[in-house]
Chains A and B, each alone.
Chain A
Amino acid sequence: MLEKGKISAFQMGVMMYPTIIATAILSLPATMATYAHNDLWLSPIWASFAGFLTVYVSHRLHQYYPQQTLIEYSCQIVGLIPGKLIGFLYCFLYLMWTGQIVRNYAEFVVGAFLFNTPIVVVIASMILVCVFAVRGGIEVIGRAALLFMPLFVLPLCLMVLLLLPDLDWQNFFPVLENGIVPSLKGAVVPHIWLGEFWLTAFLFPLLADSSKGRKWGMLSVLAVTITMIATNLFSLFLFGSDVSSMLYPLMIASRYVSIADFFENLESVVMAVWVLGAFVKISVFFYVIVLGSAQLMEVTDYRPLVWPIGFLIVLFSFWGIPNMIVFNYLDETSLPYYGFFMQILLPLLLLLIAKLRNKPQRMKSAA
C-alpha cells in the first residue's frame, strides 16, 4: 500500500458528505427545477439509487480484492493493459472533474463576492491549501472533514430556520402534474453527483474497520439525499417556480434573511461554508487522483506527484471552459452520458467480470 494512514469508516462517511453536497446544493436545485418544476424534491430520490448502487458495487469489489484500490484490481479483473487503461480513464476523469469543481467554486466566489480578484488567484490559493492537505495523506483529510462537518451543516440549518417565516409550503402543489417523467428528467444531472460515491472504490482499502464501510457509505448516501431533498424543498417554498431561473438559489436565500432589521446579509456565511465544503471536496478528489496515478505508474511514494497534479488541476480548470454558460451547458448535455458510463456502467461491468472470475476459484477451494 502506498498509503500508510488509515481512517475509520465513519470518517469516510463524513468525508463523502461535503464531497457530494458542497457543489450539489448551490447550482443543482436550479438544474432540477428546470426539468422537474415543482416536483424537484423527487429528483434526488431517483438520483439516490445511483448513490446506493455505486456504494454497493464498490463494496462488493472491495470484498473480492480487500487490500486493493480500483486501479489495482481493474488490472486483475480485465488484465494488465485494459486494466491500466481503465485506471488511466478514471485518473483522467477525476482530473478533469476536479478542474471543473475548482472552476465552479472560483466562479461562484468571483461572480458573487470578489468581483475584482483575478480568478486564477482564487483557484491557485485553493489548490495550494489542498496540496498541503493531500501531502498530509488521507488521515489529514479525514480529520479536516470531521472538523469542518459541523461548521458546514449548522449554518445551513440556521439559515433555513431564519427563513421559516418566508416559506410558502403551498408551492408544493400540484404534485406530479405531468406524471413522473419530469422528476426523472430532473434526476439525470444529480445522479452524477450521487454517483461520485464511486470514489469509495479508492477509499475502502484505507479503512481501519472495513466491515463497517458499507454501512457508513450507505448512511452517507442517505444523508446526502435527505440534504438535497431539504434544500430543494426549501428553495421551492421560498422562490416558487422561479428557482430554475437562479444560478445560486441558496446564496440568494441567504441574502433574503432579515430578522429584526439588523440580522441580515448572511451571504458571507454561505460563502464561508461553501469554501469549507469545497476544500473537502477538492481535497478528496485531488487525493484520489494522486493515489490513483501513483498506483497506475507503480511508484513507491505518491507525495512527489502532489505538486505537478495540483498544477494540472489549475490548468484543467481553464481548459475547455470558456465561460459559465458553456460550463452549465456541458453539465446538462455531455456530463450525464459519460458520467453514467464511468460511474455506473463500467463499475457494474467490472463487478460482473470479477464475479465470473472469482466463482470457479471459490468452488475449487471448496472442493
Chain B
Amino acid sequence: MKRILLTLLMMSLLFLGGCWDRTEINDLAIITGAAIDAADDNQIELSVQVFIPRALSAGRGSTSSGGNLTLVKSAKGASIADAIALLQTKIPRKIFWGHCEVFIFGEDMAKRGIAEEMDFLVRHPQPRERAYMFVSKGKAAKTLELRPELERYSSEVIREMSDMHIGMLVTIIQLKEMLRGKSNAAALPLIDVMPPPNEAKGLETAPYIMGTAVFRKGKMVGEINEKATRGVMWIRGEVERYTVTAKLKNVQGTVSLNPIHSDIKFIPSIRNGQWQMTIKAKTEGDVVQNGTNLDMSNPEMIKLVEKAFQQDIEDRIELALKQVQHEMKADIFDFATDFYREYPQEWKAAKNNWDEIFPNVKVITDIHAYVRRPGLVTLPGGIPEEEVREK
C-alpha cells in the first residue's frame, strides 16, 4: 500500500513539474504600443513598439538620454492577426500583448473603418480591455518612433496624457460599447506629433492630444478641435481638470477658474413628436487668476464671474453641438441611450430612423456655475487699491 502511494506521489510530480505555458521573460517581446495603418490593396500595416529591456539596464549609468528604449517593427497583412504572423518572423522573441496599453489607428485606417480590427482586440485573449484607443493625424506608425524627452517611450506619453483627462479617454471596452451601442457613433481622441523644436532633434519630440475623431458606423467622418472637444467632454460628463478662462462683459481682462466638480444630467423628452434633450449641468470652481480690476471678495462681483463662467461653458457646448450634431450628424454623446431608457416604446419605433432624428433633436442647456473660493487673495494682485472696482 505504501509503495503504491509513493508511486502515486511521484507520478504527481509529472503534473507539477512540467508546464507547457512556461515562458521566460527574456523570450518575450513586450509590446508597449501598436499602430494600425491602412496599406494598399485593402491591407493593413501593423507597427509595434517593442520594449528593449537591455537598454533599460544599460542606460541607467549613462547621463545621455540618447539610448533608445524601444524599437519599432512593422508588417503588412490582410488583418491584424495576419500581420502579427508576419511580424513574428521579424522579431526573435514571442510577441506579447499583455502590456500593450495604447492602440493607435492611422487616419486613413479610421476612415476606411475600424470594425474588422476591433474584433481582434476584443477576441484575442492577450490585449487588455483597458488599453487606450487613439486615432492619429496622418500615419500612426510615426508616433511610435518618437523619442520623447520626459517619458520613456511615446506610447507612455499619450497614455499619461489621457489619464489626466486632457482629451477624451476611451478604452477598448468603451469603444466596443460605442460601436455596438444604440447611437451608431463613436469618438476617439485624436493625436498628433508636436513639431520638434529644431530640425536637428528630429524624432526627439512627443505626441499630444489635439482633438477628437468622430466615427459614424465604425468609420471616421470628421474631427473636431481641442476647443470643441472640451464641449463634447462637458456633454459627456468627462471634464475633470482644466481651466476655464472667461471674458466678462464690459470689463477688461479675463478671469480664470479651475472647475473642481461638475455634475451633468440629461433629461430627454418627446413632446408632440419633437425630440428634446435638456442638459443640466452644475459646476463649481475656484478663481486661480483674476486679470480684471474686480474685487473678488464682493459677492456682487462673484456673480458677474459666475455668469461669465456659465456663458463660457454654454458656448463650448454649443460649439460642440454645432460641429458634431449638425455637421457630422454623429451621436457621440449617446443621446440614443438616454432616449431609450426614458422612452423605450418610442425608441423602438424610431430606432431605425435615429440618424435622421438625431440632427433635429433640440438641445436645451441649463447650466449653473458657481464660484466657491476666491483663491488666496481677494483683491486683484497686481494693481493699486484705488483702481479696484467695487461695484
Give A residues with C-beta under 8 Å from B.
111-118, 121, 124-125, 128, 170, 173-174, 177, 239-242, 245, 252, 255-256, 258, 261, 264-265
Query: Chain A's nearest CB lies how many Å from the CB of B133?
Result: 14
Please give, as numbers and ranges, the residues of chain A lying within 8 Å of B128 by CB-CB distance: 255, 265
Is B15's CB under 8 angstroms from A121's CB?
yes
Is B21's CB under 8 angstroms from A117's CB?
yes
Query: Chain A's nearest CB lies how many Å from the CB of B255?
Result: 32
Is A240's CB under 8 angstroms from B181's CB?
yes
Considering only CB atoms, which chain A residue lies closest to B20 in the complex?
A117
Q: Mark B76-113, 1 if CB is under 8 A from A, else 0.
A: 00000000000000000000001000000000000000
Considering only CB atoms, which chain B residue lies closest to A174 in the complex?
B344
Given A242-B180, A255-B130, A264-B130, check contact A173 B19 (CB 8 Å): no
Query: Chain B's nearest CB lies how many Å from the CB of A236?
Result: 12
> Can you list 30 A-B contacts (CB < 8 A)?
A112-B125, A113-B21, A114-B20, A114-B21, A115-B21, A115-B125, A116-B20, A117-B19, A117-B20, A128-B15, A170-B341, A173-B341, A173-B342, A174-B342, A174-B344, A239-B173, A239-B177, A241-B181, A242-B173, A242-B177, A242-B180, A252-B129, A255-B128, A255-B130, A256-B129, A256-B130, A258-B130, A264-B130, A265-B98, A265-B128
Is A245's CB under 8 angstroms from B173's CB?
no
Considering only CB atoms, which chain A residue lies closest to B160 in the complex?
A261
Considering only CB atoms, which chain A residue lies closest to B99 in the complex?
A265
Given A239-B173, A256-B173, check contact A177 B344 (CB 8 Å): yes
Query: Chain B's nearest CB lies how many Å from the CB of A110?
Result: 9
- Tell me the count of chain B residues lying within 8 A, CB to CB, of chain A: 21
Considering only CB atoms, which chain B residue lies closest to A248 in the complex?
B125
Q: Does B340 contact A (CB under 8 A)?
A: yes
Q: How far is the CA of A241 from the CA of B341 in the complex (A)?
A: 12
Please give, as numbers and ranges, the residues of chain A lying within 8 Å of B177 by CB-CB distance: 239-240, 242
Query: Chain A's nearest CB lies how many Å from the CB of B6?
Result: 15
B 302-356 contacts with A by CB, 8 A: 340-342, 344
Given A128-B12, A239-B173, check contact A174 B340 (CB 8 Å): yes
Query: Chain A's nearest CB lies how many Å from the CB of B302?
Result: 32
Please give, as numbers and ranges, the residues of chain A lying within 8 Å of B19 by CB-CB distance: 114, 117
Q: Does B73 contact A (CB under 8 A)?
A: no
Q: Does B282 contact A (CB under 8 A)?
A: no
Please give, as numbers and ranges, the residues of chain A lying within 8 Å of B15 by CB-CB distance: 121, 124-125, 128
Query: Chain A's nearest CB lies how many Å from the CB of B7?
Result: 13
Is A245's CB under 8 angstroms from B180's CB?
yes
Q: Does B280 contact A (CB under 8 A)?
A: no
Q: A111-B125, A124-B15, A252-B129 are in contact. List 7 more A-B contacts (CB 8 A).
A: A114-B19, A115-B21, A116-B20, A177-B344, A239-B177, A240-B181, A264-B130
Is B20's CB under 8 angstroms from A118's CB?
yes
